[in-house]
Amino acid sequence: MPDLLPLIDSFGRLHNNLRISVTDRCNIRCFYCMPAEDVQFMDRAELLTFEEIERFVRVAVPLGINKLRLTGGEPLVRRELHKLVAILAAIPGVEDIGLTTNGILLAEQAEALYAAGLRRINVSLDALTPEAFKKFTRRNGFEQVLEGIKAAQRVGFDLVKINAVSVRGMTEEEIIPFGHFARDTGAEVRFIEYMPLDADNAWERGKVLFAHEIIERLSNEIMPLIPEGATDRNAPATDFVFADGIGRIGFIASISQPFCLSCNRIRITADGKLRNCLFSLDETDLRPLLREAGSDDAIAAAIRTSVAAKKEGHEINTARFIQPDRPMYSIGG
């Protein structure tokens, strides 16, 4: 009889949230995530198949996992991703599936994803002019992302969220345009503090534009931002709304206000490595268990062991911090 106790770690955190990376490939090259050139991608044979991902989720759900998010790399470059959404949506106990995408291929896939059962989409967009977009992503594609956002809203996705990484020296010019964008489009704009997960190892604390600085600018130059009560105490974002009720802005202040103590997430990389934290230095290779004849009990035990070993927090603000070898695109953000 498998052990069905919930996934609680040694700091009392209950884990119900799984981020699934479906590929490490990407069609742009954000400087805070990927190297500019010569990216070493995983061999296709290394990627978990849809069947292997399904099996992993079927084992994880009875342990208490009920929220999934598909990510990457760029998840929409994985062929027929909507089929994976449909497979996962059909698993009893899966209550919520989200997707994080750069939006480049979203306009052409939004309808199929919605039809497959996806309801929540976060689109990453760091800037609101084509020139600034290219500085962040080292590629063109700004108009395609805007089209993708419009398509997602048209198809009927729940509140579309925009993720903008906040980088000192770059994001300042985008703050007010994003405030107006949130008010004009109804999308929630969430600023994510730049984290040390870049492939170039160029992150420094001085390059992070902090949430409180953005709140101050928006409040002074548009109108006061009012904090919203948290609907999900495990959500990493703190949400605000402009004082007239129009325009939602969120902040993921991973550096200035780490939320590790309420973290409820585990992750599986596209090549089947289980990670208990974005910043963990260890991971558990589940692919042999998923691909060869590992039992469900063995997979469940590996998940438990990983959760039990989770550290208290990321330690970015201490001298002890060591940046993981895997950059963001290879972990799955």
Where on the chain is the footprint of ligand SAM (CB under 6 A)? 26, 32-33, 71-72, 74, 100-102, 124, 163, 165, 192, 194-195, 197-198, 328-329, 333
Which residues make up the interface to ligand SF4 (CB under 6 A)?
Answer: 26, 28-30, 33-34, 72-74, 102, 124, 328-329
- Position of tokens 């598909």? 70
Among ligand SF4, ligand SAM, none, what does residue 29 contact (CB within 5–8 Å per kind)?
ligand SF4
Considering only CA atoms, which of 65, 71, 73 is closest in space to residue 29? 73
Among ligand SAM, ligand SF4, none, what does residue 195 contact (CB within 5–8 Å per kind)?
ligand SAM
Of 118 and 215, which has the nearer Cβ to ligand SF4? Answer: 118
**Min CB(14)–ligand SF4 separation in Å:** 28
Q: Which residue is nearest to ligand SAM (CB)?
A: 333
Considering only CA atoms, which of 69, 73, 57, 75 is closest in space to residue 98? 69
CB within 8 A of 170, min separation 6: which ones? Answer: 126, 127, 132, 135, 136, 209
**Min CB(33)–ligand SAM separation in Å:** 4
Of 17 and 102, which has the nearer Cβ to ligand SAM? Answer: 102
Per-residue tokens: 32 = 């805070």
**Min CB(195)–ligand SAM separation in Å:** 4
Among ligand SF4, ligand SAM, none, what does residue 192 contact (CB within 5–8 Å per kind)?
ligand SAM
Q: How far apart are CA 204 and CA 195, in angstroms?
A: 9
Of 32 and 181, which has the nearer Cβ to ligand SAM? Answer: 32
Is residue 7 within 8 A of residue 303, CB to CB? The reply is yes
**Min CB(36)–ligand SF4 separation in Å:** 10
Considering only CA atoms, which of 190, 177, 191, 185 is closest in space to residue 153? 185
For 123, the enclosing helix (H) or strand (E) is: strand 120-124
Is residue 17 within 8 A of residue 264, CB to CB? The reply is yes
**Min CB(254)–ligand SAM separation in Å:** 7
Q: How far apart are CA 145 and CA 107, in angstroms?
A: 8
